Amino acid sequence: MKWITDIENEIAGWLGSPEALRTASAALRSAMPIAALDQRVLVSRYDDVVAVLADDAHFGVTETYAHKMDRTTGAFFLGMENTAQYQREAGIARRAVRNDDGARILSLVESETRELLRAAHARGGKLDGVAEYSHLVPLGLVARYLGVPGPDPDTMKQWMRSIFWDIFLNPTDDAAVSQRAEAASAALRPYLTSLVQERKRALAKGEDAADDFVGRLLREQAADATIDDDLVVRNIGGVIVGAVDTQSKAFAQALDQLLRRPAALAEAQRAARMGDDARIRAHVWEALRFNPHNPALFRTCHEDTVLAAGTPRATRIAKGAQVVALTISAMFDGEAFERPDEFLADRPLDRYLHFGHGMHTCFGAHINALVLPAMMKPILLLENLGYAGDRPSLDYEGPFPNRMPLAFDVAV
């Protein structure tokens, strides 16, 4: 079926417009909701996507992610199955990111955004929403909350993007993307190793009082001799790589969708003026549904499995098949989202799949839930906000937003 192949190629290419991806997904949901194509299976209905992501026993991650993590950041628990190693290493990282860190994270975001917007006001109301904002806020969090400043911001941006691109957004294993990631990791690993050693020396002298992710990992290590430096470095690398471009891309694509919808933008701006953070988050999550930062997640079937058993679409998936869980499609499934083609900012937040589902949900999902609305709020408060120039212009480098020229009024 040529049209199915065309849809598969569109999805695998990642560079198609969100409108094209939504159209292709709608065709799949209608004609072949579980499309088995040789050794690849495209899953497009909400219930089936959730079932795949929730069933880590049958649909695993190692074949897709583990080898890329091994050669870049080093083995990381999000690329592991539910093993004793996964449980141990995930537990170590999660203890270093605490539930009561929310106020501190929000304070850091407020500080970063205030300085960035002060500079934009000084430029007469000109702001690149990516290069001068969405890329810099998470870099600030990586430096100040996670404790990894990097040699300089530009180097960190390059390292994080190159490695993230290869691990999560290179399904065709493009050699040039992989080579850039390997070059970045060849520099990142020695930097992280040196950072850990420096922080350990300061901690041993009683000089290191920083309560950040790195410091907490090292305090765990001091109390547990089985935590070696390699584990610490791998955990740091895995966490920071997912922290920058995820937030930057999600913010830029959500704002772009709001700017294309004047009524939704106006309602989000009203929420910002009223200080209604929950309402801002609802608008960000709904805007992101129309162009999610990660429209599909990949799994490998570990044994012959029937998906959607007991339904007319029940399909046997063969061991070894690659399963593409189309989250963008799931979030437009009319069985799960009422009036899916409309922008409705009152949907239950737990229905969205922006950060995955199940055991391998994004490690920073709860942080993103704080950071993205906090990044959006001060932007929404700008007067007469819009794209600079005659046409909307969110420009990309591969799968990443790279330039977003914005303009707003500056009071005189």
Condensed to tens digits (0 to 9), the pLDDT of residues 285-300 reads 999 999 999 999 999 9
Q: What is the pLDDT of residue 14?
A: 43
Token representation of residue 111: 């500080």
**Mean pLDDT value across residues 18-45:** 92
Q: Are the C-beta atoms of residues 158 and 180 closer than 8 Å to each other?
A: no
pLDDT digit string (tens) for 300-356? 999 999 999 999 999 999 999 999 999 999 999 999 999 999 999 999 999 999 999
- For residue 404, tell me if it sits in a domain: no
> Does residue 27 lie in a domain region?
yes
280 falls within a domain: yes
Looking at the DSSP bridge assignments, the partners of residue 397 are 400
- Asked whether the CA dihedral 332, 336, 339, 344 is positive or negative, the reply is negative
- Give strand pairing partners of 322: 40, 300
Domain presence at residue 406 = no
Confidence bin at 159 (pLDDT 50/70/90): very high
Mean pLDDT to the nearest integer, 139-150: 97
Residue 242 lies in a domain: yes
Is pLDDT of 50 > 90? yes
Handedness of CA 212, 75, 187, 190 (dihedral sign): positive
Q: Which two tokens stand for residue 124?
A: 């007469």
Cα-atom radius of gyration of the chain, to the nearest Å?
Answer: 21
- Quick one: angle between helices 229-241 and 175-204, nearest 10? 130
Q: What is the pLDDT of residue 9?
A: 53
CATH of the domain at 47: 1.10.630.10
Domain presence at residue 396: no
Asked if residue 72 is part of any domain, the answer here is yes
89 occurs within a structural domain:
yes
| Confidence band of 4 (pLDDT split at 50, 70, 90) | very low
Please report, for residues 62, 189, 285, the alpha-carbon distance to residue 371 in angstroms, rounded to integers and kept in the order given: 29, 27, 12
211 CB neighbour count, 10 Å cutoff: 13
333: containing domain: 2-389
Say how far apart CA 3 and CA 129 lie, in whole Å: 37
Percent of the chain at pLDDT > 70 equals 96
Burial letters 365-383, b for 16+ CB under 10 A, else e: ebbbbbbbbbbbbbbbebe
Helix (H) or strand (E) holding 59: strand 59-60
The reply to whether the predicted model has a pTM over 0.85 is yes
The whole-angstrom separation of Cα 50 and Cα 94 is: 24
Find the mean pLDDT for residues 211-237.
96
**Nearest-5° angle of CA 49, CA 396, CA 145?**
75
CB atoms within 10 A of CB 56: 17
- How far separated are the first and last CA of the chain, in Å rounded? 62
User: What is the tally of structural domains in the chain?
Assistant: 1
Looking at residue 3, its pLDDT comes to 45
Q: At residue 88, does pLDDT exceed 80?
A: yes
